[in-house]
Amino acid sequence: MNYRPVIAVVQREVLKLFRQRSRLLSAMIRPLIWLLVIGAGFDAMLGRTGADSYKYFLVPGVIGMAMLFGAMLAALSTVYDKESGVMRMLVIAPFEHYWIVIAKVLGAAIAGIIQAVLLLVLLAILGYLGIEIRWGVLLLALVMTALACASLGILTAAWTPTLDNYAVIMNLVIFPVFFLSGSLYPVAQLPDVLRTIATVNPYTYAVDLLKHANLSMTGPGFTPDFSVTTDVAVLGAFVLVATVVACLRFSQESRYSVLIHVLARKGGD
Amino acid sequence: MMRDAPDFAKYLAVHSDGLTKRYGETLAVDRLDLDIPTGEFFGLLGPNGSGKTTTLHMLSTLVRPTSGQAIVAGYDIGRRGVKVRGAIGVVFQDSALDRTLSVWENLRFAGMLAGLSRSVIRERASELLDLFGLHDQFDQPVGSLSGGMRRAVDIARGVIHRPQILFLDEPTIGLDLPNRKKIWRFIERLRAQTGMTVLLTTHYLEEAADCNRVAFIRKGRIVKSGAPQVLIDGLGNHVIEIEGDKLDGIVNELKGPLGDPILEEDRASFRFSGSPAELAALQASLSPRVTGVKVRRPNLNDVFLWVTGTDAISRRPGERGVRAAR
């Protein structure tokens, strides 16, 4: 396998990210709303200020959010590629079809990381970042989180025939994954049922890893729930399993998708 | 199971043996035997739904045959899909281009997927766009191009890696006449320049007249094949179209000497192979009895009409498709 096809897919993903300005803009605004509006609102309600305040707690969560939305949507563009016909270029290319999945995961992860880094820059300008950031852990957290979100996206895409189901995906995949993680509250303080769900949600470990990076000045109540090793192990296992399952599903499906697509639209031949 | 046969590719670009595709109850392609010599311009002709596209998708490894085998460019389509895909170029019925990217970005994407380096892609892209007269569109988004230009770019996309064999699935569908002619000129130029084998499907039969050989496919089976001119000549010198209200008598009268006609509502078409004098005599005798008599040269459309029209009458159950060999 030549490395060029993978670069081609990644390059196209990045190109499209910067070309769709509105997508990039909303990717920055969504986390900022959580931070500036909801964070500030809760702080006012709880009467908290300074290093202990809720908005600082939210920082790792919103960085994760940028990647959850960014990488997932990029991976879901695979469905759009099928609909628009670009997938034909990929399935007719001279490599095994599982490479399409691997390349898409990498492209989506890189798109996610770019968005997270842009958001980090914005947060630094706004004064939300502390001075004791653990850069190594941050890098690890960005890569693992982006890969996990991208592979979750490709797994969803493999079972999504058309983007008409977009709202369904939002409501059934993205929102539950986000809300049932440690993004908005420490997992340890959740009620039993929710804590159990959060514990099996791989995204919980992504946010936890981001908390380890010490992005903002963490107060006493804001310590991570799991160890770095646990986080990386869970995320790594999830990425592997999700990608392999998507590859299997895809190499079955791609043999038929082109034709089925033509049949559905032309009603024959 | 068929073996790979790289030496084979020197002589035969495509060889299929009993290639069959079944979708549930529907038999899309029925025991298709095909031999396409290397360098040939081959046309697979037939109406919509006859199995042309399914055949093309099987030969390009995108659809797995229900039974039967095929060797494309010397490689078994079932076991050596990657090798086959490396040797072929495919232009699909619907565009494979990304409309949001520019012409160059699309060609670069396709070229890189084929493993080419940026400089090679750049060189070939500019060569191809020159050939197609599209150099000024290099940086334009594909979405802003006309339908004809888009199809030309899609063809350039399909040959950027210089395939040995090019599969063209209805390359001119949905285009107006001037653009269809343009696309044909591009394909001609490409063939002249590269000598690649071209397998074309179309239902505009008159467009296949330049093929070295054509095969008519109907309900997944090849019903007739040969060089277009040979097939046309075999039909007769002329086609006589007779128009009128009560044609039954005339049809029964002419059926014997001229063979089965093609019947439409108020028109009957006969094949005619006699001398010009005989033709004039027949025309004179028919004129007073009908509203119109038209005499014209036969074309590939007629070949297909007579093949499928009479085929429906004379076909026996269990009869095997005609082998499309030279």
At residue B212, the pLDDT reads 93
B60 vs A8, A92, A96: nearest CB: A92
pLDDT > 90 fraction of chain B, expressed in percent and rounded: 44
- From the list A11, A88, A259, the residue facing B54 with the nearest CB is A259
Q: What are B55-96's pLDDT values in tens digits?
A: 999 999 988 899 999 999 999 999 999 999 999 999 998 899
pLDDT tens for B220-249 read 899 889 999 999 988 888 888 888 777 777
Alpha helices in chain A (DSSP H): 4-19, 21-33, 40-46, 54-84, 87-91, 98-125, 135-158, 166-169, 175-179, 192-200, 202-212, 228-266
Q: Token digits for A122?
A: 């914005």
Cα–Cα distance measured from residue B186 to residue B133, given in angstroms and rounded to the nearest whole number:
9
CB contact under 8 A, A94 and B112: no
Architecture, CATH, for domain B237-297: 2-Layer Sandwich (3.30)
**B65 to chain A: closest CA residue:** A255
Q: In what order do the strands lie in the sheet with B213-218?
A: B88-91, B165-169, B197-202, B41-45, B213-218, B221-226
Range of the domain at A221: 4-266
User: Is B13 within 8 Å of B198 (Cβ atoms)?
Assistant: no
Of A210 and B205, more confident: A210
Say which amino acid occupies A181: S
pLDDT, position A51? 62
Note the ipTM here.
Answer: 0.88
pLDDT score for B204: 83
CA A119 to chain B, closest CA, distance in angstroms equals 26
Q: What superfamily does domain B6-225 belong to in CATH?
A: P-loop containing nucleotide triphosphate hydrolases (3.40.50.300)
pTM of the model: 0.87
Percentage of chain A lying above the pLDDT 90 cut? 53
Domain map (residue ranges) of chain B: 6-225, 237-297
pLDDT at A161: 80
The answer, yes or no, to whether residue B118 has pLDDT greater than 50, is: yes
Q: Please state which of the ranges A211-225, A242-256, B38-52, B137-151 shows the lowest mean pLDDT.
A: A211-225
How many structural domains does chain A have? 1
Pairs of residues, one from chain A and one from chain B, whose beta carbons lie less than 8 Å apart: 100
